[in-house]
């Protein structure tokens, strides 16, 4: 059987990919050592996801391996070798705040771990497409330099602004503040491109906006929409950090994202990049997300406004999906923000 190797297989995107490719008839090999619990405490633990995946997918096997451990990774690649038909790399240290406090761990997980996987792909299964889950944080705070206007519930840009449809792949990653997490992911993003352009691997970077879904172990330091729903329903209060809670995020369901992976797998390219998120179809401010929760649950959420924003936080970010849609026209979004929140509440 053909093998799909997925790192971060118990995380939000990885677990969605596990279920998706198991249903497609692949043997799925997961690499996940629940480092989220180490980063974020019990709230961030993904053990419950792994248990569910094992129960539902007989052709799924998980290895408790850290992607910084090249020797352990090498044994997995040696075990499956040419049977590996696709690598999906989702494992990461995903938090701004954690990355600033622990920059060495952050860099080793995000940058060195990615390099380990690329080298092994090149040596053991060079024909396998390599999909990397990158981030819009490669653009640092450059989006904040756009001409942003304040509206009642959100920050926005004018319709005649060339970026109204969203940030595209030509947007600059230079001369800005990234956050330490943004820097480590930028290295990984660039080295994934380099192994495509320079070494001829079929690589792609998906620069994600806010990816979310029911398998998200949302914690205070990471997992915006999942944590917002969970925390605001349980405690009926929520901390809005900076920008009056009007900062805009685009929200993409992990199911829609994994369908992007499927399209790329069927027609891969070399060293490609795509901005991917909810786009104009699915986006909201934090205030707007809280209002959706209040309306659905018929509750009132106390809002605690914290004036100082997080370093590198985006005031307004919407992904321009035009490039991916042009290259893969059969891809369609299933979930908008309201539908995503309804599902999160249901879970």
**Phi/psi at 217 (5° precision):** -85, 75
Residue with tokens 């499927």: 262
CATH of the domain at 271: 3.40.50.720
Count the domains in the chain: 1
Residue 216 pLDDT class (50, 70, 90 cuts): low
Percentage of residues in the chain having pLDDT higher than 90: 80
Contact 168, 275 (CB under 8 A): yes
Q: Which domain holds residue 339?
A: 3-346
pLDDT at 191: 98
> pTM for this structure?
0.93
The structure tokens 């049977």 sit at 83
Tell me the pLDDT band of 347, cut-offs 50, 70 and 90.
low
Q: pLDDT tens-digit profile of 92-147?
A: 988 877 889 999 999 999 999 999 999 999 999 999 999 999 999 999 999 999 99
Cβ atoms of 21 and 13 closer than 8 Å? no
Query: Is residue 74 exposed (0-12), middle (13-18) or buried (19+ Cβ within 10 Å)?
Result: middle
Which contacts (CB < 8 Å, 24+ apart) does range 190-193 have? 191/111, 191/114, 191/115, 191/118, 192/114, 192/118, 192/130, 192/132, 192/134, 192/271, 193/271, 193/272, 193/273
Buried b (16+ CB within 10 A) or exposed e, 277-313: bbbebbbbbbbbbbebbeebeeeebeeeeeeebbbbb
């Amino acid at each position: 059987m053909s093998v799909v190797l997925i790192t971060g297989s118990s995380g939000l995107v990885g677990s969605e990919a596990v279920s998706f490719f198991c249903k497609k008839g692949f043997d799925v090999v997961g690499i996940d050592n629940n480092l989220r619990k180490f980063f974020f405490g019990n709230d961030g633990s993904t053990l419950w996801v792994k248990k569910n995946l094992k129960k539902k997918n007989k052709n799924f096997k998980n290895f408790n391996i850290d992607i910084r451990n090249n020797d352990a990774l090498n044994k997995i690649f040696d075990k499956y070798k040419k049977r590996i038909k696709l690598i999906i790399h989702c494992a990461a240290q995903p938090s701004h705040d954690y990355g600033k406090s622990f920059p060495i761990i952050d860099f080793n997980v995000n940058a060195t771990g990615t390099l380990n996987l690329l080298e092994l792909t090149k040596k053991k299964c060079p024909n396998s497409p390599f999909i990397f889950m990158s981030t819009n944080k490669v653009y640092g705070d450059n989006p904040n330099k756009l001409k942003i206007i304040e509206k009642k519930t959100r920050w926005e840009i004018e319709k005649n602004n060339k970026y109204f449809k969203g940030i595209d792949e030509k947007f600059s990653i230079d001369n800005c503040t990234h956050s330490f997490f943004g820097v480590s992911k930028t290295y990984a993003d660039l080295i994934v491109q380099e192994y495509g352009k320079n070494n001829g691997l079929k690589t792609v970077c998906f620069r994600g906006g806010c990816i979310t879904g029911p398998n998200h172990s949302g914690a205070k330091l990471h997992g915006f929409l999942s944590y917002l729903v969970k925390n605001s329903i349980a405690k009926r209060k929520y901390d809005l950090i900076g920008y009056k809670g009007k900062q805009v995020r685009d929200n993409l369901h992990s199911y829609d994202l994994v369908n992007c992976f499927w399209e790329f797998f069927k027609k891969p390219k070399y060293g490609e990049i795509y901005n991917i998120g909810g786009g104009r179809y699915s986006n909201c401010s934090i205030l707007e997300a809280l209002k959706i929760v209040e309306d659905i649950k018929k509750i009132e959420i106390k809002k605690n406004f914290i004036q100082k924003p997080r370093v590198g936080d985006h005031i307004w970010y919407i992904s321009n999906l035009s490039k991916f849609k042009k290259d893969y026209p059969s891809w369609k979004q299933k979930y908008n923000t309201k539908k995503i929140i309804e599902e999160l509440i249901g879970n």
